[in-house]
Amino acid sequence: MLGAAAPLAAAPAALAFSQQAANPNIFAPASLPAHEIYRLALFVIAVTIGIFVVVGGLLAFAIIKFRRRKGDNGREPAQVYGSTQIELAWTVLPVLIVVVLFLTTARVIHQVEDAKAPADAVHVTVVGHQFWWEFRYPQYGVVTANELHVPVGGPTYLTLLSADTDHAFWVPQLAGKTDLIPNRANHTWIEPERTGVYLGQCALFCGVQHAHMLLRVSVQSRAAFAAWIRRQHKPAAKDPAVAAGRHVFETTACVNCHTIRGTIADGRFGPDLTHLMSRKTLGAGVLPNTPKNLRLWIENPAAFKPGCEMPAMNLNPKELDELVSYLETLR
Ligand code: HEC
Ligand SMILES: [Cu+2]
């Protein structure tokens, strides 16, 4: 009963929450490759609108000019065959249009795909999981989940891997879509020009909870990004006041799936929880990260993400309270 009622109770909060960041918009680029893709899209749309107007105009002209009128004798009109000029025109023109579209597209693909990372670029390894995102910063020894932080005004290079099946990384305002494929490393990059939160989504069907595999990218000032990295780099908080909750965590299967740096928990199947409280969301964007939601999530993750890869651990209410108090200290 409780499990079934939980998503309903959580719905209004989740709704208000999704409004905190602007909806992803392919027509509002805020980063380098997204700008190039946007310009190319406008060009292609302009060309195709031109084709539509010419073809539609000729069609309308023919329909109106040669419509049946009163007093027509009802016979078929004279049939005209084989105008070399017209046939040449409607063969050569489309070929030229296709060549132009091909060349402009190839140029943008080359610009995006073959850009070399400058020495000062931030590197992030993105690992797609059913149904969440792992972000590793090898330069800084930082690992987080679902909420990517990057500096404004400089390039961040992303290496895209998958732990299970195919996923796709897509934050429309920052860059085009790039697939994450098992046993293969794909690459993309972003160079955002405005601070803010940009939303994205796994864009390749990867299983039942594919639609709950949201991406949040926080583009921060250089100083704010450096401060975030410093905080994330610290080992997990060790507050003696919540030792009981920590004990519950360390003696439950949580440790096989989750890492909390500085404890025995070093699982990599689920998100790194070392700085869980620095994240605004739980479960790749299904819930705002509040103590109440955290408790509901641990009690029964499937109430919010049916089919997700975290089991309900059947803890009693006391253990749940202690556990949540402990997790709340992981800032
Ligand atoms: C079988 C592996 C497994 C076990 C055991 C497990 N988890 Fe998870 N956990 C996951 C996975 C996978 C996710 C990601 C779910 C998703 O978003 O689809 C997750 C997500 C979470 C999250 C949300 C993190 C975030 O940033 O969104 C929290 C908090 C969490 N688990 C806590 C716990 C606690 C506490 C326990 C022990 C009571 C536990 N987990 C046991 C696999 C596990
Ligand atoms: Cu996915």
| Closest ligand 1 atom to Cα of 276 | 26
For position 73, what pLDDT does the model report? 84
Widest CA span of the chain, in angstroms?
Answer: 100
Ligand 1 centre to CA of 313 (Å) is 10
The SS3 assignment for 160 reads strand
pLDDT (tens digit per residue) in 22-80 = 788 899 999 999 999 999 999 999 999 999 999 999 999 999 998 888 888 888 888 88
Q: What is the pLDDT of residues 74-130, one digit of tens each?
A: 888 888 888 899 899 989 999 999 999 999 999 999 999 999 999 999 999 999 999
* Ligand 2 centroid, distance to 160 Cα (angstroms): 12
Nearest Cα residue to 37 out of 25, 52, 22 = 25
Atom of ligand 1 nearest to the CA of 279: 26
C-alpha 272 – ligand 1 centre gap (Å): 9
Q: Which ligand does the CA of 275 lie closest to?
A: 1
Q: How much is the average pLDDT of 300-304?
A: 96
3-state secondary structure of 79: coil
Nearest ligand 1 atom to the CA of 286 is 17
Report all structural domains of the chain as residue ranges with CATH numbers, in order of start: 25-62+83-233 (2.60.40.420), 235-328 (2.60.40.420)
Please give the mean pLDDT across all residues of the chain.
92
Mean pLDDT of the region 182-186: 97
Alpha carbon of residue 248 to chain centroid: 34
Ligand 2 midpoint to CA 238 (Å): 34
Say what percent of the chain tops pLDDT 90: 85
User: Distance between CA atoms of 32 and 26, rounded to whole angstroms?
Assistant: 13
Question: Which bound ligand lies closest to the C-alpha atom of 283?
Answer: 1
How many A from CA of 325 to the centre of ligand 1?
16
Among 257, 290, 321, say which to mutate for ligand 1: greatest number of ligand atoms within 8 Å of CB. 257
Q: Which of 16, 9, 21 is nearest to 297 (CA)?
A: 9
Residue 57's alpha-carbon distances to 52, 87, 129, 309, in angstroms, are 8, 18, 50, 55
Each residue's pLDDT tens digit, 135-181 = 999 999 999 999 999 999 999 999 999 999 999 999 999 999 999 99
How many whole angstroms from 11 Cα to the centroid of ligand 2?
A: 22
Q: Which atom of ligand 1 lies nearest, measured to the CA of 281? A: 27
Is-above-0.75 flag for pTM?
A: yes
Substitution candidate for ligand 1 out of 143, 254, 297, 308 with most atoms within 8 A of CB: 254
pLDDT by residue (tens digit) across 254-296?
A: 999 999 999 999 999 999 999 999 999 999 999 999 999 999 9
Q: Nearest ligand to the C-alpha of residue 134?
A: 1
